[in-house]
Structure formats: C-alpha cells, structure tokens
Amino acid sequence: MPEAATPPGDPITFAVVKNAMDAIVDEIAYTVIRTARSEIVKDVMDYSAAICDAKGEMVAQAKTIAQHLGAIPEAMGAVQARWNGRLAPGDAVIMNDPYCGGMHLPDVFMFYPVFAGAEILAWTVVICHHTDMGGRVPGSNAADSTEIFQEGLRIPPLKLFHAGAMDETLEAMIGLNVRVPDRVLGDMRAQYAACQVGAREIARLVGRYGADGLRGHLAALLDYAERMTRAEIRTWPRGTYRFTDHIDSDGLSDAPVPLSVAVTVRDDGSLLVDWAGTSKQVRAAINSTLSFTKSNAFLSVRCALLGDIPNNAGVFRCIEVTAPEGSVLNPVSPAPVAARALTGYRVMDTMFGALAQIVPHIMPAAGEGGNTVVCLGGRHPDNRPFIIVDMISGCWGGRPDKDGIEAITNPSQNLSNTPVEVLERQHPVRIEEYALVPDSGGAGRFRGGLGLARSYRLLADEAVLQLRADRLRFPPYGLDGGAPGGPSANWLGEGDAKRSIPGKVTMTMRRGELLSHHQAGGGGHGDPLARDPQAVARDVWNEKVTAAAARERYGVAVDPRSGTVDEPATAKLRAARR
C-alpha cells in the first residue's frame, strides 16, 4: 500500500469501524429484501442503500445498485437545502425529481436523519425503483415520452414520515396517482423500515465510540478513500484518452446518439471526465440528468481501481465530470428522462473504452449494453391492474484474461433476472423461452459472453407493451483485436406472422401474442486466432458456438458430436487465416 494511503490513527479501530459501516449498510439492504412488496425490488433487486455523514457525503454503500449511488450528493444537497434545521428523530424525506438531484421518477430516494442528541450525526439512505409512479403508461418508464410531465408523479424533497408516522396528505396523493398503490406504498414503508434498522445500528456505534469519535472515524474513511484513489491514479500514464460509443437512436428518429468522452489523467492523482462532443438532448426519454451521468462516470473509474478502496465519496473527490448543458448527459427541463438508464449504460461502455487505453490489463470489452426492460401493463379479468417490469440482465464482454460471463448483471448493477415462476404466478404471462443465444458472443482470445433470449406469451385480453432495448445497430465493441458481440433483436408474433419491432416502442399486445427478445452478446477480447482450440471445442460441445462459427471465426475444426478438435484441419485453417 502506498505510504500516502496509510490509515490514520489506530489502524485496528479504523478497520473495525470501516467493517462495521459496511455490515450496517448491507443489513439495511437485507431489510429491504425482507420487507418489500414488489418483485422489481425483492426479486430483481433494483434498489440501493447507503450511509452518509452529517454533511451528506456517502461513507458506505451496500452491495446493491452501484449505478444509483453517485447521484446521492446532488439529491442530498437538495434535501438539506429545503429541510436544514427542520427535521426531528423519526422523520424521513423522499424525493424523485430528476431536476432536483434525482434520476428518473420511478427511483424514489428516502433520506433518514440519524440524531446524536439535538444534532444530525449521519443519514441512512434507501433508493427503490417503484413499480409505477403514474403518468401516461404503466410502469412510468416509457422511452417515447417527450416531456417529463408525461412520466408520472414528480416529487420534490418532501417529508413522508413525521416522527415515525406516514404523512396522510402525501400518502393519499401518491396512492391516488399510481396504478398499484399497495405495492408502491408498501415498498416505501420497506424503505423506512430499512432506514430505521441502519439508524439503530449506528446508535450502537455511538454507544461504543461516542458521537464525536464516530464523526472522526467517518471523516477519516472519506479521507482514506481519497488518498488511496489518488495514489493509484498517480500510477496511470498521464494524458488524455478519448472514446466514442453510440445509442442506436432515441426511438422517435433514426439518428444515432453519440456519446464522446475525454478522460484526462492529471498529475495530482485526479481525473477530468469531459463529455464535450456528446449528442444534444433528444426528444425521447433517454436523456440522463447530470447527477446520473456523474454517478456512472464515478462507478466506471471505481471499476478500474484495483486497490482495496472503501466505496465512498472520497473516491468522487478525485473525479471531475463535465457535460455540456442541453446535452443528452445534462438535459434542460422539461426534457423526459424515464429511460435514462440506457444512456447510463452507454456512459459506462464509453468510459470503459477510454479506460481500456489507460489500464488495458484491467478493462473488459463491452457487455450487452445494459439490461433490456420489458414492461407489460393491463388488467386482470376482475379489473385488478397488473404491471410487469422485467429487466433482463445479460452478459459481460471478454476480459484480458478470461471469457465473458453469461446471464449476469451488468457491471453497473447488482440485479437479478426475475424467476420465470414468479412472473407466471403473479401475472397473466407465460415465458416460453429463456435461453442463451448461440454464436452471440464476440470472437476473441477470450470470448464475449452470450446474450439471453426471453419470450413472453400474453394471457390477458390486452396489455400496453413498453420495450427498451438497444445494440441493434451498434453491437458491443471488442478490444485488442476482439470481434464485436452479436446485435440484439426483437420480434412480435411467430411463424409467418413474425415481424421485427424496434428497440424502443410503446404498443398494444393482444391475448395470445408472443414477444421475443434476443439480447446482444459481449464483445471479444484479443485475437480470435489466439484462442485455445480446446476452449473452442468446449464451446461447441456446450452449444455456445456452432461448429460453423468455430471454423469461420476461430479457424478451429470441431466435430460437434464428439467435441474433439481435428488438429490437422485446424492447423490448415489457421495457417490460411494468418
């Protein structure tokens, strides 16, 4: 460990407090899982938990959606500006306004102040993606909205709980404006319960170390993370590294949406992440607020750091992020933002492309491009509403020393694919395919992960479908000579009636119709001709790569029945390719 990164004071006590904060914030997260009502939280795990100090700087984060947590500083700033000096024990403030530090309307932040005497010592924070927040379509997540007012209930920093009791006015307002109030309000109560659990455990630390002692340890944690981050960045080669990636389109036009970044490594161990040259804000709802853009940039850099660095705001201090006002990464109100996660994923892909030039031994090729969202909303025969928000987690790209991984969350998330049994038990839908897509992984010395296939048969009379998918036109890139991954694709119908549909669409599905989605595969890493022929043979045997693709992409002749390599034929194929 560099000398500059040595922990302050008593290193044993410092380590105990650090590990205690990590354990507490994970316990907050576990409480959400145990008490939430909706499958998007308790099964998909689209939520986050954190602990902040009195000033609002994040000192610990749970093993949840890392993509959310870099947005906390701006959201916390809005909460403190409105409620400074006006909160009491048991109060909790919620907000979701994207133009007040939030991300998109379904992501509702809850901030719970933890008091030591009359003063706030810390905050527990839980962010949940709620099943519905009202607006023009079920799920409040459509990519084709054209202004934020269409997207649902927009909440500035407001007090939802007063001394432990839910505010009746705000409860009634939320309940009246969402399609599934039992799930939404139930998940908000789960957020509150989890925040209370965190506050209880922090109080135990106060009992051990005192309020002033704990304040000192929290400040030391932030400073320690900053020193460690700067020490590692100082080992990186100085310079400016550029990369451009694309979103297929905003869904309302065919024009690609470019994201361009310049990452500058500075002498003081800090980075400038500049998004000049990125697309202007678009009409459709894929715009990303600056807080969310920063969050994804912070996370991308954290993925490139090897040291055992605490995941807190000390890391953020070393990274300056700028994006032109009025761009797709810093839109001006009332630009719609409901599907902003897609753009956040592409921020990560673009950052990884630039960072791969700085630390090529660490960074993977592009993964699937972010989860695909399939949202179906309608009514049961008894007129009860149903809303499916299915987020399909796909694969990673090939890594410098390993293949990509299949059926796994995007690096920016910690999501889980919804179990088929849960979807079919709770909603009028039948999942008729859930499989890997052969040959979808990009060829390379280390192959990209395979994309997922998932199909949905509607069993209700009708439903509104919102689809948010990408990488149909711009497949995930490979690195160091690796090939791109296979593109994604969407179809409605089957047999002769099967037809392709766009990646971003809102439409009506009828009873019995079949929606099929193939997610993109990850890019490959390294020269495909350098891949071990036995690894290719295993892929053929496991039906991840066809025998034809093995010959064409890798120059390897494999008998698909036995899974053995024809070595003379392989030598001839590879000699012809070189």
Cβ atoms < 10 Å from Cβ of 265: 18
User: Which residue is listed with tokens 């927009």?
Assistant: 154
> What does the longest C-alpha to C-alpha distance in the chain come to?
80
- Here the tokens at position 373 are 């969202």
Cβ atoms < 10 Å from Cβ of 385: 16
At residue 6, the pLDDT reads 52
State how far the Cα of 336 lies from the Cα of 435, in Å rounded to an integer.
34
CA atoms within 13 A on the CB side of 389: 25
Identify which of 179, 189, 183 has the alpha carbon closest to the alpha carbon of residue 134.
179
What is residue 533's three-state secondary structure? helix
User: Which residue is listed with tokens 């023009």?
Assistant: 136
Identify which of 489, 477, 540 has the alpha carbon closest to the alpha carbon of residue 515.
489
Distances in Å between the Cα of 389 and the Cα atoms of 16, 186, 306, 340, 528 are 40, 17, 35, 15, 37
Residues listed for the chain = 578
At residue 471, the pLDDT reads 97
User: Which residue is listed with tokens 């990850």?
Assistant: 522
CB 123, CB 56: distance < 8 Å: yes
State how far the Cα of 558 lies from the Cα of 570, in Å rounded to an integer.
8
Q: Sign (positive/negative) of CA torsion 261, 305, 321, 286?
A: positive
Task: Give the amino acid at 6.
Answer: T
State how far the Cα of 25 lies from the Cα of 420, in Å rounded to an integer.
30
- With a CB cutoff of 8 Å and minimum separation 6, the contacts of 210 are none
Rounded to 5 degrees, φ, ψ at 34 are -75, -20
State how far the Cα of 491 lies from the Cα of 507, in Å rounded to an integer.
13
State how far the Cα of 511 lies from the Cα of 495, in Å rounded to an integer.
17
Q: Is the peptide bond before 334 cis (omega within 30 degrees of 0)?
A: yes
Going from the first residue of the chain to its last (578 residues), give the mean pLDDT of each consecutive group of 10, the final group possibly shorter.
53 92 97 95 94 96 86 92 96 96 95 96 97 95 94 97 98 97 98 98 96 94 96 97 98 97 98 98 97 95 91 96 98 96 96 98 96 94 93 95 94 88 95 97 98 97 96 98 98 93 95 97 97 96 96 94 91 88
pTM value is 0.95
Cβ atoms < 10 Å from Cβ of 534: 13
Cβ atoms < 10 Å from Cβ of 89: 13
- Here the tokens at position 74 are 């701006």
